[in-house]
Every structure is written in C-alpha cells, then in structure tokens.
A and B are shown apart, each in its own frame.
Chain A
Amino acid sequence: MSVDLSKYKKDFPIFARKVRGGNPLIYLDSGATSQKPESVISAEADFYRTINAAVHRGAHLLAEEASEAYESARANVAKFIGAKTDEVVFTKSATESLNMIAYSLGNLGSTPHISAGDEIVVSEMEHHANLIPWQQLAKRTGAKLTWFSITKDGRLDLSDISSVITKKTKIVAITHQSNVFGTIVPLSEITKAAHAVGALVVLDACQSAPHFSIDVKKLDVDFLAFSGHKTLGPTGVGVLWGKADVLEKLEPALFGGSMVDSVTMESATWANVPRKFEAGVPNMAQAVGLSAAIDYLNIVGMDKIFEHEQELTEQLLSGLSKISGVNVVGPLDMKDRGGVISFTVDGVHPHDVGQVLDQYGIAVRTGHHCAWPLMKKLNLVGTTRASFHLYNDSNDIYALLEAIEKVKSYFKVGK
C-alpha cells in the first residue's frame, strides 16, 4: 500500500471489542454507517457535559457557548465542501435534507416550484431516499418523474441525455456515487445539460462526501445532501447545502420556533437562510460531533483517504475475480468508482453469505441496499456489499476473500 493509514485505526474504540466467534471486528459496512473516532465521541459527549443549552436562545453563558460551538460547526462543514457558511443547513439526516428540498420545491410560494407538466429526473440507481421524495413530489404536483437507465456494468446511461433532460425538466436529482455499485457519476455532463434548460441539480453525496474531497463550486450543483453518520460523525445530523440565491427563494418545509422573523396570530415571516430551514432546537451536540469528525478527516487528509480506498477497492476486485462463482455487480475496473463493491455468490443467498461472514467477525451489508427498483432491474434478490473507510486495510480484504471461500464450502457450491 502506498498510503499507510494504519496508525489511525486505534483512534476508533469499537475495534477494541470482539464480535461473533470471539473474532476481532472486520468492519466492511461503512457505506451504511461509518465508525467513530474517539475525538467525535468525546466532542458530542463534551457538549452535554460542559456547554449544553438551546442555541440561539437564552441570555446566559451556556447558550452563548453552545451557539458559538454550533455556528462554528456550520462554518467547518461549509469549508469542508467549499461552500459559504450561510448556505449550510443542519438537518437530522441526509434523508431529511432530500425530503425538505422536495417539499420546498413543491411549495407554491417557492421560486421555482414544481407544477403539473414539469419533469423531475432521477436515475435507476438512486437510493430510496433520493427516489421516493421525488416520486411523492411528482404525485403531489402532477409533475412527471423520468429517469436515466443504467448500463450493464452499473454506470449511468447518458446516451439519451437529451431525451431525458428536456425543456420541461425542472429538477435533476442524482447520486454522486452509487451505494450499490460504487460508480461515481459523470456529473459535469449532467449539470451542463440540466443548467442549459434551467433545471436545478440536487446531488446525493452520501457516498461521496465521506470519502473524497468535495467542492460544491466545482461540482456546479444547486443542492447537495450528505449524512453525518457516514462521515465519521454522530447519527442525528445531516447536511443540506444549497446555493444562497436558490435557498433564499424557497419556502421552508418545517415550521416552528427559531426559524421566524416575525409572527402574528394570523401569519409569520421567515428568518434569513439558513435559519429559516432549521425549525426547533437543532441537534446541537451532533452538529458539534460532525465538526469534530471533519477536523479528524482533515488531519488524515481526504485525498489520502480516497487513494487508500482506491487501493483497497482494486485489491478486492482483483481478489474477487479469482474466485469462481463470485460475480461483482457494478464496474469491474477502477475508472470512476469508489470503495463500494457489491457481489453475489452463485447458489448462496446474500443473507446467508453475510451470516457466514459474520461468524468470522466480518460485517457486510446484504440485501437490496434501499435500491429495490435497481435490484429488480438487475433481476437480483440482493447482493452482498463491502464498503470501506480509512480504518480498513489489506488484511480486511484477505480475511473477506478467505471467508468467501468458506461460504462456498459451507453451502457446498462450486469449487
């Protein structure tokens, strides 16, 4: 390995425990959620221990310190993705971020807003969280949902891009990196086509932002969502980023305390962006925890993390190709793909594969990966998925490859 990140694994307390069979934990499920370094766990706990108070309210020292910590977290997140601080909205999850955008864009008071006859474009490889909110928006407004197909090797089929993104297209909501295939989508082609017809681009960055460096200006998208818990941060915090001038013209989706400018018995007006999108007391300790996670990722270096995961991906793809009866679902080469590898084992259901791997302490994801339409399209009941983060190493790959052989012998399939 040309990048050595081995010294960081000890920062993650969970690797001190033993799992099934008394085995050490080999965690290959970071695509579902990442593990947390001690600094993140401490930052979240320390918020409660030392400065806990409702932010942006209260005339006391704790409220001041909590507000300061929360707003610093916002600034840190903004810097992490190359955004302006006021463009970052904290949500409870990436799922909430995407739903909020879909709601706001369906509000008649928003500019633009979706109406009957408009088209919303997604792809066949979206996670349910970037599919169903748009299905529902289409249903509420009478808009039409259309989508990009995928190619046989798990890439986006852009061959008919001009018939998918049309003059009627108002939104293109697309994943940055597939949570099933690991494919990184050719974004610039999509943003160019979308912007040429005046459509907004919503990027689901759940599988990208935690693993490689992101700059929203370079990506040239209009909205971006990612989750804290896949980014070494706590659960309960997600990020919604939007271009300032776009966010300003949108109505909020959630209403309540803290998001208002003025309120009467009959009506209310909204605070400025981003506050108008953060109704209620936010998940403060979690935002502060996410900020600590970003500090940690910056210390390790996003470019190093990406390179490290690329090496692991290449190793695993090469190892899997040598096992008969094992089929990688998704790109077999390293072009535009990240550290998410789905595969099937002939004659063994993914759930059974995962169960045998678990016996050896190997944690993987099995099933449809919240991408049911995609599984149906591929005529698969599901896959087994290995996904990485900085704490994985070559030994994890060897252990997985060895355990897959054991799966085959346990279920008496192939040679």
Chain B
Amino acid sequence: MELDSLYQEVILDHYKSPHHKGLSDQKDIQVHHKNPSCGDEVTLNLVMDGQVVKDVSWDGVGCSISMASVSVMSELIIGKSYVQALAIFDAFFELMQSKGQSSGDENLLEDGVAFAGVSKFPARIKCALLGWMAFKDASTQVME
C-alpha cells in the first residue's frame, strides 16, 4: 500500500516514543517554528559547544511525520560538528525535494532515510521539514 511508503515503522516508533523531547534548562538559543496551514508547532533548544552540536531538545505538537522527524533529527545531529550537521540538513532537505526519486544517503541520514517516502506526498514535506528548519534557524543564529 502506498501509505506504507509514507509511514515507515521507524517513523511510527519515533512518533510513539520521541527522542530528546522535553526542553532542557540549558540553551544557547530557543526558536519556535510553526506550520500555519496545519497548526504544527515545534520549540527547539540548541546548545553548541564551540563547533559541536552539544544538545538539542524540543517540544511540540503535530502529526506523526513532523514529530518523528524532529526526533530522528535530534538523534542524528547531537554530537556532530556544525559542518557535519549542516551536511546532514542539506542531505535531508534534498531528499524531501526528490519527489520519490531518491532513497537517501544512509551513511549521512541513518534513520532519516525512512522519510524518503514523504517526498511523494507534497502536502507532507513541510511536516517533515518543520524541526529541521527550526534547527537550521537556531544554529545559524548562534554560529553566524
């Protein structure tokens, strides 16, 4: 079923048991992003240690795709260098624009490749990108 390409087990698992959810006390910056068309919202705290992403924590409300995506992203980028985290962001962003033609770079994206199917559902791409755009915004503000 077409639906299974969208809702991979990984996504449903992260939706049910999200990682790094719950905002930490410590933060260099807090950003709040939302999708006005569907009402999904994410608040994200970022802690940088020099050039390294030391911690990401978040809270939010939204659909399985948006919540699982920010969970997977947090897992992926914590502990990575800022440069690596941006490369992962770019790879994920590109995957979302691929209209179902790419299965994603598993070396870079790990569990993130589970979102490959989302790119076939134009209305859901913004869901998958919500947390990622929040991280991009937060990290740009801290680093640049």
Q: A interface vs B, CB < 8 Å?
A: 20-21, 348-352, 355-356, 359, 366-368, 372, 375, 381-382, 410-412
Contacts and interface: CB of A to CB of B under 8 A. Distances in A.
B39 A352 contact: no
Nearest to B12: A411
A350 B40 CA distance: 11
Nearest to A366: B38
Interface in B111-125: 121, 124
A368 B127 CA distance: 15
B62 A381 contact: yes
Contact of B3 (A349, A375, A381, A410): A410
Range of interface residues on chain B?
10 to 19
Given A20-B2, A356-B3, A349 B64 contact: yes
B63 interface: yes
Nearest to B41: A381
B63 A352 contact: yes
A359 B7 CA distance: 12
A352 B68 CA distance: 12
Chain B residues touching A, majority SS: mixed
Interface of A is mostly: helix
Contacts of B121: 355
Contacts of A349: 62-64
B6 to A, nearest CB: 7
Interface string B45-87: 0000000000000000111110000000000000000000000
B136 to A, nearest CB: 22
Contacts of A375: 39
Given A21-B1, A21-B2, A359-B3, A352 B64 contact: yes
A293 B12 CA distance: 45
A163 to B, nearest CB: 31
A366 B1 CA distance: 22
Interface in B10-45: 12, 37-40
B38 A382 contact: yes
A381 B39 contact: yes
